[in-house]
Amino acid sequence: MEKEPAAGQVSMEDIAALAKRRGFIFQSSEIYGGIGGFYDYGPLGAILKRNVKDAWWRDMVELRDDVVPFDSSIVMHPKTWEASGHVEAFNDRLVDCKVCKHRFRADHLKSREQCPDCGSKNSFTEERAFNLMLRTFVGPMEDSAAMAYLRPETAQGMFVNFKNIYQSARKRPPFGVAQIGKAFRNEITPGNFTYRLREFEQAELEYFVPDDGQDLKRFEEWVQLRKSWYSKYGVKPERLRFAELTADERPHYAKAGIDVEYLFPWGWGELESIAHRGTYDLDAHMRLSGKDLRFYDEASKTHYTPLLIESSAGMDRTTLVMLVDAYERETASDPAGKQTERIVLHFHPQIAPVQAAVFSLARNKPELVELARSIEEGLRPKFRTQYDEGNIGQLYRRQDEIGTPLCLTVDYDSLTGHDVTVRERDSMRQERVAIGAVESYLGERLAGP
């Protein structure tokens, strides 16, 4: 990862400060000093992350007839992780500085001569392998027979169930299985806010295809599909790249691999990986379990192991991308024409936690409050709305900072004219809209592409 912050981009400190101030993301267990690699999503962050997951789920699962949903348990039989290779090889190499005791991932160190933290020379311990899986015990005995792992990825649950899934869902390759769920990795150096966590969520899609010579074409189609997904939700194309992995960079069994990367304030970082994994995963589970997981093709009366194209995206990283990508600090005119600076999040309407805010211009005027509240209540079943009241400049500032696309204001003229002022977040343009037409006005502007 490059260390230099990208020119003109927001710093991670700005994002973390906004995230805390507005209730997107908090450090986990903050009152006890926090715990490294764990974060909580606040009232707005919980909706933001849900919207990101829902967008993925809707496009990757619900709108397709060749993908079925799945939800597997976090703790699985420990043999799962033997078969998958995680027990043997899911390791990072780590070294410690003997002077300052700081721990580093060996592959993150530019040089072994001098500790980047305390400057000591030749102070590193020998490299050791460190397994990233978090362990727990199942049942009352804390012995090795009871040891289990918290899954480091969601994918294995779909592989071990492959036969159950295709038989019960009556699917034949090409078809996919998808799930969104928690994964855990005991990262040596969690950091960059919610980029590298020890507890995180993945959205994984396992697409099984027949070995009919079309697999590389299908892999490319998935890459294009994921590209259009990011573009649909407005992620800036110049901050996104699809880096092709060379044969040396990908595992020996993989026929093709792409890392989807985003230009974070500290440089490019992985957001998703798309890989052609061949028959590696099903083969591994068949070998260790002794069970036949091959697909049985009724037409040709033959068994075969389908090839796998996997898309594995981090939902916390995607949520962080939505925040970073949407963030802008700009100079604007306030309602009195004075130049002020505003922070605005240009969220896509489907991603924005609040889609429309409804204000009463005055707190102490019951007619205005009542009208504004009733408009907000009427819109609530259709859109994500919020009611607020008070100083209009402050109200706009707050909604801009949380990325609300539209603000509706009830003022004195609304009582006689039966209309409201609608202000658009990005252009700050305002127009009067009849109260009776507000719902369709919002529908046109907030519906997805």
Interface with ligand ATP by CB under 6 A: which range of 111-119, 207-215, 236-244, 312-320?
312-320
261 touches ligand ATP by CB under 6 A: no
Residue position matching structure tokens 């909604």: 399
d(CA 63, CA 258): 24
CA R_g for the chain: 26
Structure tokens at 96: 């410690």
Q: How far is the CB of 171 from ligand ATP (least distance, A)?
A: 24
202 touches ligand ATP by CB under 6 A: yes
Structure tokens at 35: 């715990």
d(CA 269, CA 262): 6
Residue 295: strand pairing partners: 304
Parallel, antiparallel or unpaired: strands 39-41 and 430-434: unpaired
Binds ligand ATP (CB under 6 A): choice among 156, 279, 311, 312? 312
Please report, as a single letter, which amino acid is at residue 321. V
Nearer to ligand ATP, 107 or 298 (CB): 107
Structure tokens at 223: 């890459």
CA angle 232, 234, 240 (to 5 degrees): 100
Parallel, antiparallel or unpaired: strands 327-333 and 430-434: unpaired
Nearer to ligand ATP, 87 or 428 (CB): 87
- What ranges in 188-269 are assigned the alpha helix state H? 215-232
Site for ligand ATP in 136-175 (CB under 6 A): 153
Interface with ligand ATP by CB under 6 A: which range of 73-81, 206-214, 265-273, 322-330?
265-273
- Beta carbons of 253 and 281 less than 8 angstroms apart: no
Residue position matching structure tokens 């070998």: 287
Interface with ligand ATP by CB under 6 A: which range of 40-48, 271-279, 285-293, 435-443?
271-279
187 touches ligand ATP by CB under 6 A: yes
Residue 276: strand pairing partners: 256, 309
270 touches ligand ATP by CB under 6 A: yes
Binds ligand ATP (CB under 6 A): choice among 22, 171, 185, 276? 185
Structure tokens at 242: 């699809």
Nearer to ligand ATP, 245 or 435 (CB): 245
Nearer to ligand ATP, 6 or 134 (CB): 134
Interface with ligand ATP by CB under 6 A: which range of 197-205, 361-369, 385-393, 396-404?
197-205
Site for ligand ATP in 40-79 (CB under 6 A): none
Residue 205: strand pairing partners: 178, 311
> What totals of helices (H) and strands (E) does the chain contain, helices first?
13, 23
Please report, as a single letter, which amino acid is at residue 40. D
Binds ligand ATP (CB under 6 A): choice among 273, 279, 386, 414? 273
Nearer to ligand ATP, 187 or 401 (CB): 187
Contact flags string 317-336 toward ligand ATP, x per CB under 6 A: x-------------------
Nearer to ligand ATP, 193 or 347 (CB): 193
Nearer to ligand ATP, 197 or 209 (CB): 197
The alpha carbon dihedral of 34, 39, 41, 45 has a sign of positive
Parallel, antiparallel or unpaired: strands 406-410 and 356-360: parallel
250 touches ligand ATP by CB under 6 A: no
d(CA 334, CA 312): 44
Binds ligand ATP (CB under 6 A): choice among 316, 376, 400, 419? 316
Q: Which helix (H) or strand (E) holds 93?
A: strand 91-96
Q: How far is the CB of 201 from ligand ATP (least distance, A)?
A: 8
Binds ligand ATP (CB under 6 A): choice among 181, 314, 349, 403? 314
Q: How far is the CB of 268 from ligand ATP (least distance, A)?
A: 11
With residues binned 3-state (H G I as helix, E B as strand, rest as coil), the percentages for the chain, rounded to 5, are 35, 30, 35
**Which residue's beta carbon is nearest to the bound ligand ATP?**
314
Site for ligand ATP in 95-124 (CB under 6 A): none
Size of the site for ligand ATP (CB under 6 A): 16
- On the CB side of 394, CA atoms within 13 Å amount to 7
- Residue 356 burial by Cβ neighbours in a 10 Å radius (0-12, 13-18, 19+): buried
Site for ligand ATP in 409-448 (CB under 6 A): none
Residues engaged in binding ligand ATP (CB under 6 A): 153, 185, 187, 196-197, 200, 202, 270-273, 312-314, 316-317
